[in-house]
Structure 1
Amino acid sequence: MKILITEDEAIVAGELEAIVTDLGHQVVGIAGSSRRAFKLAETTKCDLAFVDVQLSDGMTGPAVARHLSEDARATVIFTTSNPHHVPADFSSACGILIKPYSEHSVKSAIAFVVDCMETGRSLRRKPRALELSPAYAERWKMS
């Protein structure tokens, strides 16, 4: 799985990168701003993206998520400590992983979302740390 990380805190991005690569997935890029994320979306292909809501250039994560979901056809998971900043329609993202998150919660979220992406549903239980958007809960038959 090719994964893009959009996170403006270098330490958090590095930790997320380590978790993703430990699972055997490829990190295709790390962006700290929406501008960099849009550039990476043009030059790389990702299947899954972790997108922080608050980036170095402001509350631009929702715009990045919508672009990646709708134009680049990637599945997006928001990462945020304040889920109230996520728009009601989740900007086409599949869900939210609440910060601070643990290595276990990231691994569980990735495994669950990858299963759903590949088969349309998961035999795994939805991780507690992952809040699905209503659209994806319906799509993945979680309601």
Structure 2
Amino acid sequence: MRVMIVEDEALLALELETEVEAAGHDVVGQAASSSTAYELAEKTAPDFAFVDIQLLDGPTGIDVGKFLASKNVPYIFVSGNLKRIPDDFAGALGAIEKPYTMNGLQNALDYLALRVEGGEVPSPPPGLILASEVA
């Protein structure tokens, strides 16, 4: 799976990239602002994205998410404040709350990869809040 990371905290983005690659996926790039995220999405056509809500240019992650959804790119929010996510999840599959554990992230990534690739999906792991569960 080709994964895009939209995160303004460099250390968190690097940790996420390491985990994604350890799970056997390719990271197509990182974006810390919405403008970079739009460019990266257009240039790389990712299969999936992790999107933080608060970016360098403000709380623009929701707009990035809507853009990704319009391009049929599945994504989840990764945020320290899940209350900022709109009720409709802005087209996201779900969310993971920060801080997360590496084990929790790995379990969520395994589940999401199966879901995105159209495989049979088990029950979602703890820590992954699916949009369909709150709808």
1:41 equivalent in structure 2: 41
2:124 equivalent in structure 1: 126
Identity level (%): 40
What's the TM-score once normalised by structure 2's chain length? Answer: 0.94
TM-superposed deviation, 1:125: 2.6
2:90 equivalent in structure 1: 91
TM-superposed deviation, 1:76: 0.5
- Structure 1: unaligned runs, 5 residues or longer: none
Matched, 1:65 2:65: yes
What's the CA shift string for 1:48-80, capped at 9, x where partnerless?
A: 100001111011001101111222x21101000
Aligned residues: CA RMSD? 1.7
One-letter amino acid of the counterpart of residue 34, structure 2: S
SS of corresponding position for 2:83: helix
Structure 1 consecutive aligned stretches of length 4 or more whose deviation exceeds 4 Å: none
For residues 15 and 117 of structure 1, what CA distance do their matches in structure 2 show?
22
Higher relative contact order (CA 8 A, sep 6+): 2
TM-superposed deviation, 1:127: 1.1
One-letter amino acid of the counterpart of residue 132, structure 1: L
The number of aligned residues is 135
- Structure 2: unaligned runs, 5 residues or longer: none
One-letter amino acid of the counterpart of residue 12, structure 1: L
2:31 equivalent in structure 1: 31
One-letter amino acid of the counterpart of residue 64, structure 2: V
One-letter amino acid of the counterpart of residue 45, structure 1: A
What's the TM-score once normalised by structure 1's chain length? Answer: 0.89
One-letter amino acid of the counterpart of residue 77, structure 2: F
One-letter amino acid of the counterpart of residue 126, structure 1: P
One-letter amino acid of the counterpart of residue 13, structure 2: A
Matched, 1:79 2:100: no
2:52 equivalent in structure 1: 52
TM-superposed deviation, 1:6: 0.2
1:100 equivalent in structure 2: 99
SS of corresponding position for 1:11: helix
2:16 equivalent in structure 1: 16
For residues 21 and 113 of structure 2, what CA distance do their matches in structure 1 show?
15
